[in-house]
Amino acid sequence: MRDLSVYKRNALSCYNVELLSPAGSKDSLKAAILGGADAVYLGGKQFGARRLAQNFTDSELKGAVRLAHDNDVKVFVTVNILVKQRELSAAFSYLDYLNSIESDAVIVQDRGMITLIRENFPMPIHASTQMGIHSPECAIWAERQGIQRAILARELSLEQLERVRKSTKMGLEVFVHGALCYSVSGQCLFSSILGGRSGNRGMCAQPCRKAYTLGKERGYVLSTADLFSVDSIPRLMEIGIDALKIEGRMRSPVYVYLATRAYAKAIERAEEGDEVLITPRERELLEVAFNRGFTRGYLSEENVMQREYPDSRGSLLGKASFQHGRSRILTGNLRNGDGVTLYRFGEKTGGFEIRDIEKEGNFSIISAPFRVDDGDYLVYKTRDAEFDRINQAVNSMEFPQEEGGRRKLEFRLPLSERKASKRELSFYVSSLKSLEKIIRYATRVYFEWNRYQGDAKSMCENAGIEFVIMMPRVSPEVPETDEGSIMVSTLGQVEKYGGRRLYGHYSLNFFNSLTVPELYQYTLSVELSKKDIFDLTRHYGGRLEALVFGRIELMITKDPTLEEGTLIDSRGKKFPVYRDNFGYAHILNSSDLFLLDYMKDVESMGIESYGIDLRRRSAELSELVAKAFYEGDESMKEEIRERCGSITAGHFLRGVI
């Protein structure tokens, strides 16, 4: 790594695949440019899914675009959170500013932003991975909305990616390196429901990196390894993926430089037909910069977990015995200026920069500058002397000083007159026994996709109740059904069954009145507060449902190693875990949402229907809850609480940050 000037790949390749790097700060932006990025993605101080990163002020955004464009690097700005109704004017003003500084594209999660951008600005739209594009049908839907690129779900295999590629001419982008969310992106409510810090609003508290008990297992049950997909680059290029993406807006400039440089070189080698795409030294530097274990990801394997520890530990050198503060380590990869960290019995005991190293053949002899008890330790290399040169190169690149600020614009929408209507009760059911108990109270039934659905439909028809089949929460292959009424959870399901009566599940993240596509009925996001719902309903005329009872699904994951049972956290909270008929595991909240005592508030906003989720509950509890909501009998609250163990008003009262 002698030359730290801006690296540029060979431009003569027929593949023309783009390398996209994270820029969570000004220094990380410079590191990405130096490392050879073709494009960067970054966010401002608002509306980005990494609100805890340094990010950029308005004037810094203008400088970032100028610096990147001066180096032939594109800038994609993240506006990839769910946007509340009352934030639409602020989002409109922000998008206007991004357009004025010549941003190359805007990355969005909220489908209302598609409408806002498409009707007002010429900027290209990229669908965030949190929008959930994960099937050919999803891609077709996105392309029809005028979206220029979709960042595909990290759960897809290479074969599934190829099917998506064949379905669309739209640009496709795939993550190849960095952190892996345990849950399907855009579908994680764990941080939100437990602490009010919503991952869909850029404030994830990373509950997946905490310790849990599940059955006999105790540890970091939900913690994934980091994605490392260099080996998949040739196949991704062959499939026709347009852009390869590195995750890491919360990580250091050194990490951004090393990951960018390694993948830029790997792409170049793949384009030239080389079999070896990364050198041992390049991999070592990546491991040292950030490493919680590597996985090739769902692209080519099923097990992506690393449950021993949740943090970055660098590159493992091995076990070493310390005597009087000195140790002989079997490695030739240490030199003065490197850093090591010691672990004993799973706990970090300290770290230090190496000075006055001694060599004995293949052994390196190091001395700790502080007291180290005699004994065996695991030694990790956590710093490389090369990092100083990288930081010097980053610091030597000037960041342009620009003046800039957005105009304060108002985005006006017409008011909608909603009237209180007759209370409709919609029950989520998964068993015939529960269905039998609640059917007399139901307006309609959302029946889970299982082997009992035929009998359930007959029971509903005989009772004069609408039968709605529930589609799976995730569907890389959308299942076939002849049913006329369908509850949909993905955009691919919407695309495939657009001519039917479609009910939107709350996982479709209905957050504001601009949300597309139009459905017969949407279920409001369970992250909306009473005030949020009031603001939304003043401008939305379509049918709406509010979930008023049930265990909210906190996560849905492809992880095949997660056992069914009860997940228990450090506070003793218990979260049921089950696996659906399509192979995905669901983690449910420890408490039931219960809004019976707020029904008048909800009804006053003109909500047409109320969802009651009784899946996997006893027939007796199902009947009790159904009767209470049908009769509006708040006196049954304590008995329901006792039967459920714990109830909560959820975000209806507190909302999310």
List, for residues 162-186, the tens digit of each pLDDT value: 999 999 999 999 999 999 999 999 9
Compute the average pLDDT of residues 311-328: 95
Render pLDDT for 507-563 as a digit per residue (tens, 0 to 9).
999 999 999 999 999 999 999 999 999 999 999 999 999 999 999 999 999 999 999
Can you give the pLDDT at residue 53?
82
Q: What's the rounded Cα separation, in Å, for the pair 160 and 321?
A: 48
> What distance in Å separates the CA atoms of residue 224 and residue 23, rounded to the nearest whole number?
23
Residue 155 CA: distances (Å) to CA of 180, 275, 299, 410, 556: 10, 26, 7, 39, 11
Residue 137 structure tokens: 């049908």
Domain at 315-386: CATH code: 2.40.30
Fold (CATH) for 18-180+224-301 = TIM Barrel (3.20.20)
Q: In this structure, are residues 467 and 487 in contact, taking their beta carbons and an 8 Å threshold? A: no
SS3 of 250, please? coil
**Cα–Cα separations (whole angstroms), residue 599 to 424, 436, 445, 604:** 12, 25, 20, 8
Place of tokens 């001694």: 358
The predicted structure's pLDDT at residue 404: 86
DSSP 449-514: SSTTHHHHHHHHHHHT-EEEEEPPS--SSPPP---SEEEE-SHHHHHHTTTSEEEE-GGG-B-STT
State the Cα–Cα distance between residues 131 and 491, nearest whole angstrom.
9
| CA proximity to 77, closest of 54, 55, 93, 59 | 55
Query: Which residues sit opposite 447 in a β-bridge?
Result: 429, 469
Q: What is the pLDDT of residue 11?
A: 63
Instruction: Give pLDDT, residue 499.
Output: 96
> Distance between CA 594 and CA 647 in Å, rounded?
6
Interval 467-478: pLDDT, tens: 999 999 999 999
Listed in sequence order, the residues at least 6 apart from 334 whose beta carbon sits closer than 8 Å to its beta carbon are 317, 340, 354, 357, 364, 366, 381
For CA atoms 560, 578, 656, 311, the dihedral sign is: negative
pLDDT digits (tens, 9 = 90+) for 482-511: 999 999 999 999 999 999 999 999 999 999
Structure tokens at 294: 């590597």
**Is-contact 399 359, C-beta < 8 A?**
no
Pairing between strand 294-295 and 226-228? parallel
Query: Residue 9: what pLDDT?
Result: 81
Contact 633, 179 (CB under 8 A): no
Other CB atoms within a 10 A radius of the CB of residue 405 amount to 10
> What pLDDT is stored for residue 372 in this prediction?
96
Return d(Cα 595, Cα 590) in angstroms, integer: 16
Q: State mean pLDDT over 307-320.
A: 95
- Per-residue pLDDT of 603-621, as tens digits, reads 999 999 999 999 999 999 9
Does the pLDDT value for residue 257 go beyond 60? yes
CA distance 119 to 633: 47
Please report the DSSP string for 259-301 in residue order: HHHHHHHHHHHHHTT-S--S-HHHHHHHHHHS-S-EE--TTT-
Where is pLDDT greater, at 50 or 263? 263
Of 643, 642, 594, nearest to 619 by C-alpha is 643
Q: What is the pLDDT of residues 433-448, one digit of tens each?
A: 999 999 999 999 999 9
Predicted confidence (pLDDT) at residue 3 exceeds the cutoff of 80:
no
- CA 163 to CA 373: how far, in whole Å? 57
Strand pairing report for 243-246 and 171-178 = parallel
Indicate the pTM of the whole model.
0.97
CA 107 – CA 98 distance, rounded (Å): 12
Please answer whether residues 202 and 51 qualify as being in contact, where contact means their C-beta atoms are separated by less than 8 angstroms. yes
pLDDT, mean over the chain: 96
Write out the H or E segment, with its range, that includes residue 533: helix 530-537
- Identify whether the C-beta of residue 20 lies closer than 8 Å to the C-beta of residue 76: yes
Domain boundaries, the chain: 18-180+224-301, 315-386, 424-550+595-654
Which pLDDT does position 4 carry in this prediction?
77
The tokens describing 450, both together, are: 């299982």
**Which of helix, strand or coil describes residue 239?**
helix
Write out pLDDT tens, residues 566-605: 999 999 999 999 999 999 999 999 999 999 999 999 999 9
Where do we find the tokens 């609480």?
Answer: 641
In the beta sheet, which residues pair with residue 127? 108, 150
Out of 3.30.450.40, 3.90.550.10, 3.40.50.970, 3.20.20.70, select the CATH number for domain 424-550+595-654: 3.20.20.70
Mean pLDDT for 316-328 is 95
**What is the pLDDT at residue 2?**
53
CB 62 within 8 A of CB 80: no
Q: Which two tokens stand for residue 199?
A: 């991952």
Beta-bridge mates of residue 105: 76
Least confident of 9-18, 81-90, 213-222: 9-18
**How many CB atoms are located within 10 Å of the residue 616 CB?**
16
pLDDT number for residue 12:
54
State the alpha helices, DSSP H only, in 372-514. 386-396, 432-438, 453-463, 491-496
Between CA 350 and CA 427 the distance in angstroms is 55
| pLDDT one-digit tens code per residue, 98-139 | 999 999 999 999 999 999 999 999 999 999 999 999 999 999
